[in-house]
Amino acid sequence: MSEYTSFDNKTDVLLHASSEHVLTYAEFEAQRQQAELRAQHETQPGQQSTPEIASATPLDLISQATKNVWRVRQAHLEETKDMFDLAA
């Protein structure tokens, strides 16, 4: 890389990453759709469906994923701290 690039021109790299562990955009979309279907399926009769998932904006998606990663990390820290305390 001869100069700094940001997300605005990394599309090809991002969507065609070569590592076998990296999700392709198609796989990512498939997983997202599965999650959406699962959420709709799990909605109880009489409850409002989940149109917010289908109509989520990029900001909604980023915000939710950001909070979720942070929450899981904090939960992990608490959990391992508890385990460490119990083992001590």
For the bound state, the minimum distance from the C-beta of residue 53 to another protein, rounded and expressed in Å, comes to: 11
**Residues near another protein (CB under 8 A):** 1-4, 6-8, 10-11, 13-19, 21-23, 25, 28, 31-32, 35, 38, 58-59, 61-63, 65-73, 76-77, 80-81, 83-84, 87
Residue with tokens 């065609």: 16
N- to C-terminal Cα distance for the chain?
A: 49
Q: Sign of dihedral through CA atoms 6, 9, 11, 16?
A: negative
For the bound state, the minimum distance from the C-beta of residue 68 to another protein, rounded and expressed in Å, comes to: 6
